[in-house]
């Protein structure tokens, strides 16, 4: 009987009972998603906006200008001079406008930081670190001018080597369409937005600008205004 009791004691199972939650074994925390796997696309907003808008504006503005001139003038020199003038004027306009816009935003942010420093008693070291994260007006202006010039060069190159008038207009329209799709796709990829919608939106907008400019200039030119 004693041996049987000893046999039962060797096979007993202990079930732990916890009186409160403090004695329970800690469970390993569930690993959270790595923050490094996600990218905040808003960090790219300032320079991306300046670059993409500058390139699209240069492409559409100069192409529309050249198409308008080509509607009433068959001379390739007239188209190229008009396009080059549009490149220079547009690049300067984009740079100045972007500089003023970003500098105004910069001044507003600085004023807000100074108010917060007085109210909350923050140190100047923390404010200096915030200032470094603000957009640079000169960099934004330079990016806009360069991007506008890059976009404007596309129709100029397309028209420079085509002597026949109608073929020149067709080549400019095709090159601009391809460039619009490329710029729209690049902007969408960098900004994390749908590529198809962005390309279609940019392409249709460019077509409308060129068609309206060509049509109105052709209408004015054929109305006997001495153009």
d(CA 113, CA 102): 16
Is residue 144 within 8 Å of residue 98, measured between CB atoms?
A: yes
Contacts of 198 (CB under 8 A, 6+ apart): 184, 185, 187, 188
Answering whether pTM is above 0.75, one says no
DSSP, collapsed to helix, strand or coil, labels residue 41 as helix
Is residue 124 within 8 Å of residue 117, measured between CB atoms?
A: yes
The pLDDT assigned to 32 comes to 45
- Which residue's structure tokens are 């100074």? 114
Is residue 64 within 8 Å of residue 213, measured between CB atoms?
A: yes
Q: Is 226 left (phi over 0), alpha (psi -120 to 50) or beta?
A: left
Cα distances from 147 to residues 21, 47, 55, 179, 211, in angstroms, run 63, 11, 5, 13, 23
Q: Is 134 left (phi over 0), alpha (psi -120 to 50) or beta?
A: beta
The pLDDT assigned to 36 comes to 45
The pLDDT assigned to 98 comes to 86
Is residue 177 within 8 Å of residue 147, measured between CB atoms?
A: no
CA 128 remoteness from chain centre: 27
The pLDDT assigned to 181 comes to 92
Condensed to tens digits (0 to 9), the pLDDT of residues 190-203 reads 777 788 888 899 99
Residues of the chain with pLDDT under 50: 2, 5, 7-13, 15, 18-19, 21-25, 27-37, 39
Residues in the chain: 227
Q: How many helices (H) and strands (E) does the chain have?
A: 7, 0
Token pair in block for residue 107? 């001044």
DSSP label at residue 19:
S
The pLDDT assigned to 155 comes to 95
Condensed to tens digits (0 to 9), the pLDDT of residues 68-95 reads 999 999 999 999 999 999 999 999 998 9
């Amino acid at each position: 009987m004693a041996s049987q009791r000893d046999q039962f004691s060797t096979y007993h199972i202990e079930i732990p009972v916890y009186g409160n939650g403090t004695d329970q074994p800690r469970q390993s925390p569930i690993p959270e998603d790595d923050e490094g796997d996600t990218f905040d696309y808003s960090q790219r907003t300032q320079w991306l906006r300046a670059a993409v808008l500058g390139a699209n504006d240069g492409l559409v503005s100069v192409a529309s200008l050249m198409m308008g001139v080509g509607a009433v003038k068959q001379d390739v020199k007239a188209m190229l001079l008009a396009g080059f003038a549009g490149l220079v004027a547009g690049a300067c306009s984009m740079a100045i406008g972007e500089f003023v816009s970003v500098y105004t935003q910069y001044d507003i942010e600085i004023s807000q930081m100074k108010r917060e420093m007085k109210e909350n008693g923050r140190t100047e070291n923390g404010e200096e670190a915030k200032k470094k994260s603000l957009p640079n007006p000169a960099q934004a202006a330079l990016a806009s001018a360069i991007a506008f010039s890059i976009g404007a060069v596309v129709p100029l190159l397309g028209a420079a080597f085509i002597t026949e008038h109608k073929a020149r207009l067709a080549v400019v329209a095709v090159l601009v369409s391809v460039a619009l799709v490329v710029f729209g796709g690049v902007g969408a990829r960098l900004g994390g937005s749908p590529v198809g919608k962005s390309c279609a939106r940019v392409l249709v907008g460019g077509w409308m600008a060129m068609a309206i400019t060509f049509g109105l200039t052709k209408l004015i030119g054929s109305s006997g205004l001495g153009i």
